[in-house]
Chains A and B, each alone.
Chain A
Amino acid sequence: MKHVDIAVIGGGPAGLCAAISGASSGAKVLLMDRSEKLGGQLIKQTHMFFGSEKQYASVRGFDIADILLDKLNEYKDNIEIMNNTNVLGLYEDGVITIERNEKYEKIKPKSIVVATGASEKVLAFPNNDLPGIYGAGAVQTLMNVYGVKPGKRVLMVGAGNIGLIVSYQLMQAGVEIAAIIDASPTIGGYLVHASKIRRMGVPILTSHTVKEAIGRDCLESAVIWKLDENWNPIDGTEQEIETDVMCISVGLSPLSELLQQAECKMKYIPELGGQTVLRNENYETSVEGIYVAGDVSGVEEASSAMVEGYLAGLCAAQKIGFKHKNYNELKEDYIKQLESLRSGPIGHHIRSGIEKVMGV
């Protein structure tokens, strides 16, 4: 059994920041990630970030990953990195089991930050298993990590920020976007992204959904139809769209299975993506010593995930006796940054979701 002060599960934006924060407080941190390369979803994000300077606004996602990795390196005496590592279980006594290089190992940390992120939601429609139907994450991985075009003509399903940004990136790569559709009557993503895409001639059809996918060995076309105000499809509004790639971008759910294994209290909170863990203002769950940060604590953006990571790492270290010398100032600053990221009308649903997770 390996003993560490803080175990951080997940090396995306939240996990990297939690590790930096814990290590800068003086704790020995073990950072685990299933991939070869740390950075999580940041490494496939070629667009510039929003937010403010503190969350690296105007810097591209993959560059933010490098900035965070450099910061991590400043504390390398306090951080052990395990990449290519799958966390298999989180038990009620706080033991973590992992698989690394086909070896099964056990870890007993004093506190834990779970930063496992989220998984993509899917849709049920006829022939939804045809090759050519992808999640937006897979399309971004193919295109932005491996430089492979997913196809020639894409139907984007979902007009949230991911759907809009991936559409734009596809166009930059020379792929045609047949249309962007969304079941909701309004565009979910930032209108600045939507306007840019509309100006390039791509139709964005709200109140539309997929009726069926058509193809023999792979996707050849898709039939979409319009929804009425009660989200029921309207007969006679079908349109067949020629497409070889359907990209599904209809939201994310917190990847909370480890928290459920550890018996952390959960609640269904649609605003935050589904089953979400309950927590307090320090990002500690109902199980003492288990903290959360990033999308697993409620689906938001990478900007807030980073700040949550810093905050959770700071608190997870303080809990076990490693109080950062600027603990109070840092904590206040992180809380203010989160409030600012969640302010305004766009943050409304996040704020109402967070009200429901608080209170353990």
Chain B
Amino acid sequence: MENIIICRCSDLSLKDIRDLIEDGYTTVEEIKRISRAGMGSCQGRTCSQLIMREIAKITGKNISEQKDSVTRPPTIGIKLKTIADGSEDND
């Protein structure tokens, strides 16, 4: 289970995710906050569905009943300088 990668961006294995679920982190949002899964460059596009499947397996809560994690801008990594420069023509 340690060589099954669930979150490629933050290098989290299936074991890491299962341990978190067993510890009581049973939503994608909670797992994201405690482990950073879904906060890397893929922004959860790869890992969140795999995590939801594991939550379903362990807790019995179907994917359709689970809450997705919150998505916020920006969708990709961007330099702080770019945002700061963009504020010059703020209107």
A126 at the interface (CB under 8 A from B): yes
B31-86 interface with A by 8 A CB criterion: 43, 45-46, 49-50, 63-64, 66, 68, 70-76, 78-79, 82-83, 85-86
Which A residues are CB-close (under 8 A) to B82? 99, 102-104
Closest CB-CB distance, A100 to chain B, in whole Å? 10
Q: Are B45 and A88 in contact (CB under 8 A)?
A: no
Which A residues are CB-close (under 8 A) to B78? 86, 88, 99, 104
Contact of A253 among B49, B74, B87 (CB under 8 A): B49
B91 at the interface (CB under 8 A from A): yes
Which A residues are CB-close (under 8 A) to B21? none
With contact pairs A124-B4, A125-B4 given, residues A274 and B72 touching in the complex (Cβ less than 8 Å) = no
Which A residues are CB-close (under 8 A) to B75? 86-89, 257-258
Chain B residue at smallest Cβ distance from A1: B91
A77 at the interface (CB under 8 A from B): no
With contact pairs A91-B73, A103-B86, A104-B86 given, residues A275 and B8 touching in the complex (Cβ less than 8 Å) = no
A184 at the interface (CB under 8 A from B): no
Interchain CA distance A90-B49 in the complex, whole Å: 23
Which A residues are CB-close (under 8 A) to B66? 268
Closest CB-CB distance, A255 to chain B, in whole Å? 7
> What's the tally of chain A residues with a CB closer than 8 Å to chain B?
34
Q: Are A119 and B45 in contact (CB under 8 A)?
A: yes
Q: Are B50 and A124 in contact (CB under 8 A)?
A: yes
With contact pairs A1-B91, A104-B82, A104-B83 given, residues A88 and B73 touching in the complex (Cβ less than 8 Å) = yes
A74 at the interface (CB under 8 A from B): no
Interchain CA distance A126-B64 in the complex, whole Å: 27
With contact pairs A1-B91, A128-B4 given, residues A268 and B49 touching in the complex (Cβ less than 8 Å) = no
Interchain CA distance A125-B3 in the complex, whole Å: 8
A266 at the interface (CB under 8 A from B): yes
Closest CB-CB distance, A296 to chain B, in whole Å? 13
Q: Are B14 and A89 in contact (CB under 8 A)?
A: no
A122 at the interface (CB under 8 A from B): yes
A261 at the interface (CB under 8 A from B): yes
A263-294 interface with B by 8 A CB criterion: 266, 268, 270, 274-275
Interchain CA distance A130-B64 in the complex, whole Å: 31
Which A residues are CB-close (under 8 A) to B87? 104
Which B residues are CB-close (under 8 A) to A1? 91
A105 at the interface (CB under 8 A from B): yes
Q: Are B43 and A257 in contact (CB under 8 A)?
A: yes
Interchain CA distance A316-B7 in the complex, whole Å: 38
With contact pairs A126-B3, A128-B4 given, residues A97 and B85 touching in the complex (Cβ less than 8 Å) = no
A-B contacts, 6 listed (Cβ < 8 Å)? A86-B76, A97-B74, A103-B86, A128-B5, A129-B5, A261-B73
Listed in ascending order, the chain A residues whose CB lies under 8 Å from chain B are 1, 86-91, 97, 99, 102-106, 119, 121-122, 124-129, 253, 255, 257-258, 260-261, 266, 268, 270, 274-275
> Known contacts A88-B74, A128-B5; can you find 5 more A-B pairs with CB under 8 A?
A86-B75, A104-B82, A122-B50, A261-B73, A275-B68
